[in-house]
Structure 1
Amino acid sequence: MRMSIVKRLVILLPGFEHMPVEAHYRRFVREAGKTAPVYGMRFTEPSSLETSTAEAGVETGRFSLDTQGDDSSVRTDFVLYGLGDITLFYASRNPVIRLLSGLFALLDFIVSGTFFRFVTTSWRYALFFVYPLLVLAGIAAASLGAGYLIDDIFPNSPFVLPGTALLAFTCLLWFASAKLHLLLLMDDWTFARDMARGKCPEVMTKMENVIADAARQISQTSNDTEVIVAAHSLGAICALPVIDEALKHNQSRRYGLLTVGSSLLKVALHPAATRLRNCVAKVAQSKTTWIDAQSLTDPMNFYKSDPIRDLDIAKGRSPVLMQVRFRHQLCDETYKAIRRDFFRVHRQFVFGVDKRTRYSWHAILCGPQRFADIAARGGLPCEQTVCADDSLKIVGPAIT
């Protein structure tokens, strides 16, 4: 049998995580190694990670993986953009500023009507929106309760109640930030508001630099190289503009777009996010093959959403929607260990798997199947004798 040889460029856009490029790289290689035998593949790394820092201060990593199968050989070159530099910008602020700016952002999403669009688009995501508000309400109530309790014990001092309440609030806020990721969530919503409204020039400059550099990397590849832009979570709001920018250089080329656990609608549903919606429309009207992976288990993605339908884009093809069940990809022990940690569940989209299903981040990006073929088939090759049903639902046909 003739060996199939594939050359591929993957633009990697991670989510809103406080992780440097090297940590993202180590995780990708580690989880790829875990996934490889499940899909009958072998990975080798021809060169180590090379990092650089762009002019706007966004760290970039480049590495390659060679994949060998029974009758295939794939060289995948990765360009990984360290959006963690952007999260660090928000995380380095004073905790009070982080809290207040997050509250202001949440209020913006309510007043603008975006929250109510969340409710009609994906009610589970609306619950995720409410979560930090409920945590803060609980902290405030517990702090006041502690203040009144101590005030009853020491009733003659006017400073006992406010002092105790403030101390309790500070301690509980620290606990919620450390254990419940509260301040990270506040940064996340502040970032989403800034992206929707085009605020915070420093961050916007970083994002524009990533988009321009990624499009330049794509334009420099040969025509026989498959190009995939792959994004997790909030990385999707950068992925669509990257494809849009690449289309300005070459409209005839068929690009691949993989969004997993996408937070695209988090920003795109905001009335001020006109530019992002225009990018979505242009990508939907192009030859781009788009796969959007979603999971019921993950409260931080828009389960059962269709970006084209939900953004009221009249002309354009919907992505191929993969509804993935993590339970069917993992051994029972692993699934039980992560299922109550919704941040870890959200990251499972980019982690390795124990069982073969139609979706795998690493098998799609590194495997021998071409992206357009995966989309047309509705997922990775999956024989029922060795592969669990991952409840895949194909909503939009792939462009072939």
Structure 2
Amino acid sequence: MPVVDRLVVLLPGFEHMPIEAHYRRFVREAEKTAPVYDMQLTEAAPLKVSLPDAAAPTGEFSLRSTGRDWSARTDFVLYGLGDITMFYASRHPVVRLLSGIIALLDFTVTGTFFRFVVTSWRYSLFFLYPLVLVGIVVAASFGVGSLAATFGLGGPIAPLALALVSAAILLLFAIRKMHLLLIMDDWTFARDTARGKRPDVMRKLDNVIADAVARIGEAPAKTEIVVAAHSLGAICALQLLDAALLRNSSRRYGLLTVGSSLLKVALHPAARRLRKSVERVANSNTTWIDVQSLTDPINFYKSDPVRNLKIAGGKSPVLVRVRFRSQLCDDAYKAIRRNFFRVHRQFVFGVEKRTPYSWHVILCGPEPFADIAARGGLACDHPVSASSATLKVSGPAIT
């Protein structure tokens, strides 16, 4: 019976979530997905969280999956990058808003926005989204003040007061319902990463990379190594693999990037270090799968990071394009399709129908990562319904 032994380094995206929440989501969505691929899942080791002073919180857990004539054990190392994102969220709302606007102006003045348009025009709409929100707030509040002044309501002070109250109400709505400050934090972090600002934050990322490289170096030679990243986690993933290759270039690594925001930073002129990391990975024997979706406005759909960054001689990743509509039942898809943040997170959520892509099956299933890449995705010749297979998750994994 084939037995797979795998070490997965998990790097989440820009979400204000503690490491325990990431863990619970991973196991919950694995529980949803496993029956669809005729898998059974048990917990081999519960979550153990360490809180190093210099790095982000780190979680370790293991899952064992089995099926007909195969078994696989996957040891996970999950880095709580939410500790870094919470730094940005803890600032004063005015500072968060203004720093985000400065970041957006930086990406415009340097020409990065126009590179977004050329590379993946849909992503440029995500760039414009917060600017449009701010523009609507300014225009609407100015309009309210102008109407009050036109009709002479309350003398000279009332129009200004009404404009300010309108702006405050609209901003509160944009923050609570439209994720305005989260987006501003996201762009501020992207600018800081490109320019190497915020030494304390960059130091934490460097410590995450150093810790992960040390763990990879300690893994037995027969253990499959996969670095898996969602969204902005791809930036850390490329730098991590760059460091791993400098330490041991003979070992074959796997890289899985889903809903990647790598080009968001790498296309900035100041991001030379990141582009150098992409170049080293692209010119190594690393197996790289990049998963994209048309439905998601926050990923660079139809992009090729190696080609778009003009890396000479580099090997492009295996591009897997997924339609979330094909993975979910109609009601489930309709429930998320108008929430673009939830759509963006679907890359790391469970599925209800078998397709060539599943975050959890790639990381927990029986197929070697290189075989999945060679095929261009998971085997899905014999689809099964969620009710035709069983799943068992034991211990605290279900909490």
TM range (shorter): over 0.9
User: Given the alignment, which residue of 245, 251, 254 partners 1:253?
Assistant: 251
Aligned residues: 385
After alignment, is 166-175 or 299-308 more displaced? 166-175
Q: Distance in 2 between matches of 1:175 and 1:156?
A: 26
- 2:97 is matched with 99
- Taking the aligned partners of 2:95 and 2:288, their CA distance within structure 1 comes to 38
Q: Contact 2:55 / 2:208 at 8 angstroms: preserved in 1?
A: no
Kept in 2: contact 1:57–1:85 (CA 8 A): no
- Deviation of 1:61 after TM superposition, in Å, equals 0.7
**Quick one: which of 135, 138, 141 aligns to 1:140?**
138
- C-alpha separation between the residues in 1 aligned to 2:249 and 2:77? 22
- The amino acid across from 1:232 in the alignment is H
Partner in structure 2 of residue 111 of structure 1: 109
- Alignment of 1:44 with 2:42, yes or no, is yes
Residue matched to 1:280: 278
Change in CA separation of 1:38 and 1:385 when aligned onto 2, cut-off 3 Å: closer
Match of 2:219 among 205, 218, 221: 221
Instruction: Name the % identity.
Output: 68
1:318-333 paired onto structure 2 within 5 Å = 318-333=316-331
2:65 corresponds in structure 1 to 67
The one-letter code of the counterpart of 1:230 is A
- Aligned counterpart for 1:290 among listed residues 288, 291, 299: 288
Asked whether 1:126 is paired with 2:119, we answer no
Give the distance between the partners of 1:112 and 1:284, measured in 2 at CA. Answer: 26
Pick aligned residue for 2:380 from 378, 382, 386:
382
Could you say which residue in structure 1 is the equivalent of 2:74?
76
Which digits, 9 at most, give the CA deviation of each residue in 1:157-195, with x for residues without a partner? 332222221221112111101100000000000000000
- Which position in structure 1 is the counterpart of 2:87? 89
Q: Letter of the aligned partner of 2:144 in structure 1?
A: A
How far apart, in 1, do the equivalents of 2:85 and 2:141 lie?
29
Report what 1:396 is aligned to. none
Q: What does residue 391 of structure 2 align with?
A: none
Q: Which has the higher contact order (CA 8 A, sep 6+)?
A: 2
Segment drifting more, 152-161 vs 46-55: 152-161
CA distance in 1, matches of 2:63, 2:379: 21
Q: Counterpart of 1:13?
A: 11
What's the offset of the Cα at 1:144? Answer: 1.2
- Map residues 137-176 of structure 1 onto 2, 5 A cutoff: 137-152=135-150, 154-155=152-153, 157-176=155-174
Partner of residue 265, structure 1: 263
1:210 — aligned with what? 208
Please tell me the residue identity of whatever aligns with 1:379: G
Query: Aligned with 1:78: secondary structure?
Result: strand
Structure-2 separation of matches of 1:167 and 1:369: 58
Contact 2:37 2:384 (8 Å CA) reproduced: no
**Equivalent-residue separation in structure 1 for 2:343 and 2:207 (angstroms):** 30
Counterpart CA distance in 1 for 2:74 and 2:383 is: 29
**Distance in 1 (alpha carbons) for counterparts of 2:70 and 2:247:** 31
- In 2, Cα distance between equivalents of 1:318 and 1:355: 28
Q: Secondary structure at the match of 1:90?
A: helix
Task: Compare 310-319 and 164-173 and name the one that shifted more.
Answer: 164-173
The alignment status of 1:236 with 2:229, answered yes or no, reads no
Secondary structure of the corresponding residue to residue 264 of structure 2: helix
Report the AA paired with residue 35 of structure 2.
Answer: P
Residue 282 of structure 1 aligns with an amino acid whose one-letter code is: R
| 2:301 aligns with one of 294, 300, 303 | 303
Aligned partner letter, 1:357: T
Partner residue of 1:314?
312
Q: Distance in 1 between matches of 2:319 and 2:309?
A: 16
- Seen in structure 2, the aligned counterparts of structure 1 residues 246 and 140 have a Cα distance that, compared at 3 Å, is same
What is aligned with 1:55?
53
RMSD in angstroms over aligned alpha carbons? 1.2
Aligned residue identity for 1:201: P
CA distance in 1, matches of 2:43, 2:66: 11
**Structure 1: tracts of 5 or more residues without a match:** 388-400
In 1, distance between residues paired with 2:49 and 2:157?
A: 54
| More divergent stretch after superposition (126-135 vs 375-384) | 375-384
In 1, the alpha carbon distance for the partners of 2:382 and 2:77 equals 34
Alignment of 1:329-348 (within 5 A): 329-348=327-346
Question: Is 198-207 or 353-362 further displaced after alignment?
Answer: 198-207
Give the whole-Å Cα distance in 2 for the aligned partners of 1:332 and 1:171.
Answer: 35
- Contact 2:36–2:383 (Cα < 8 Å) also in 1: no
Query: In the TM superposition, what is the alpha-carbon distance from 1:325 to its structure 2 partner?
Result: 0.5
Instruction: Write the distance in 2 (CA, Å) between the matches of 1:220 and 1:90.
Output: 33
Quick check: 1:281–1:315 contact (8 Å CA) kept in 2? no
Structure 1 residue 236: deviation in Å?
A: 0.3
With structure 2 as the length reference, what TM-score do the two structures score? 0.95
d(CA) in 2 for partners of 1:79, 1:153: 63
Q: CA deviation at 1:151?
A: 3.4
One-letter amino acid of the structure 1 residue matched with residue 270 of structure 2: A
1:316 maps to a residue whose letter is G
Distance of 2:293 and 2:154 partners within structure 1: 56
What residue is the counterpart of 2:394 in the other structure?
none
Conservation of the 8 A alpha-carbon contact between 1:10 and 1:77: yes
TM-score normalized by the length of structure 1: 0.94
